[in-house]
Amino acid sequence: MSNAGARKSLGQHFLISQAAICRIVEAIPAGKTVLEIGPGQGAITEPLLQRAEKLVVVEKDDRFAAIWNTRAKDEPALTCVHADVLAVLDDQVREHQPQWVAGNLPYNISGPLSAALFGHHLSGGMVLMYQREVGNRIMAGPGSKTYGGLSVLARHFYDVKRLLTLPPGAFSPPPKVHSVVLLLTPHGCKSVCPYTALQQTVRKGFAHRRKTIANNFRGILTEDDWRNLDIDPKVRPEQMNYAAWSRLAVMLNPSG
């Protein structure tokens, strides 16, 4: 694969640890349809090509997109989409119906991209790499200082666990921080609210973390509403578990 260098503007850090590459690829069962975000130099892509029945890669960088498009002409299982993943994710998931999503997510868009990804209920799951700080936020539980909107959104469809932690030296160029790889697998519980409703509720609810949840929804919900929701209006947003957030989303969006 190309030795083209990383572009800072795209938040690129290429994985070079063979042990990590094996763990990531082996987390995805063989014979599946996989969508990979940002294949870059192909550290994960090459072994995924040998393992997946179909592999769709979404690459924004012109240099790598050209290489993967050329490669796809000789690889029937490979499709390359030259685009910004944030702009095409929903369409690509609809078109290709991947069972799994994998990717070393660009650091500079990991927040909005994760919020978009967590809204897709995949039958297999996701293997996603993050800066450790972001990954810890996603894994955090209620009551933790790092618990936030992404922590709630991830649990709409998925159970989340850490697959591995990676030091800067596992990448080229090495980032200034450690990274984590998260494994998200469907928990199979029926959702009580639409994902978009949960997303809107969480965004508003965490807008002012230091305020109580009632303050964040002042003028919208009454004392009786909080009582009916079985939520203490004096709690802060980070103290509410997923179930409480989903009940709140239903009340705020009764029509779904």
**Domain spans in the chain, listed from the N-terminal domain onward:** 8-186, 195-252
Under 8 Å between Cβ of 64 and 4: yes
Mark residue 143 as left, alpha or beta (left: phi above 0; alpha: psi -120 to 50; beta: remaining): left
pLDDT at 3 over 50: no
pLDDT of 175 reads 83
Pick the CATH number of 8-186 from 3.40.50.1820, 1.10.3980.10, 3.40.50.720, 3.40.50.150: 3.40.50.150
130-158: average pLDDT = 96
Residue 96 has pLDDT above 70, yes or no: yes
In Å, what is the CA distance from 100 to each residue of 16, 27, 63, 122, 126?
A: 22, 10, 25, 7, 5
> Phi and psi at residue 47, in whole multiples of 5°?
-70, -30
Tell me the mean pLDDT in the region 103-121.
Answer: 93
Q: How many angstroms separate the CA atoms of 20 and 40, rounded?
A: 16
pLDDT in tens, 168-210: 999 988 888 999 999 999 999 999 999 999 999 999 999 998 8
Q: What local confidence, expressed as pLDDT, does residue 5 receive?
A: 52
Residue 12: band (very low, low, confident or very high) from pLDDT cuts 50, 70, 90: low
Is the pLDDT at 149 greater than 50? The verdict is yes
* pLDDT number for residue 4: 53
Question: Is the model's pLDDT at 118 over the cut of 70?
Answer: yes
Question: Is the pLDDT at 25 greater than 60, yes or no?
Answer: yes
Position 14 scores a pLDDT of 81
**pLDDT at res. 181:** 97
What tens digit of pLDDT does each residue of 48-93 get? 999 999 999 999 999 999 999 999 999 999 999 999 999 999 999 9
- Arithmetic mean of pLDDT over the chain: 93
- pLDDT value at residue 36: 98
For 195-252, CATH gives 1.10.8.100
Give the type of residue at 14.
Answer: F
The neighbour count for residue 176, using CB atoms within 10 Å, is 8
In this predicted structure, the answer to whether residue 2 has a pLDDT above a threshold of 70 is no
203-230 average pLDDT score = 95
Position 255 pLDDT exceeds 50: yes
Confidence band of 10 (pLDDT split at 50, 70, 90): very low
Say which DSSP state 178 is in: -
Task: Give me the mean pLDDT over the 9-30 stretch.
Answer: 85
* pTM for the model: 0.92
106's tokens: 């660009």
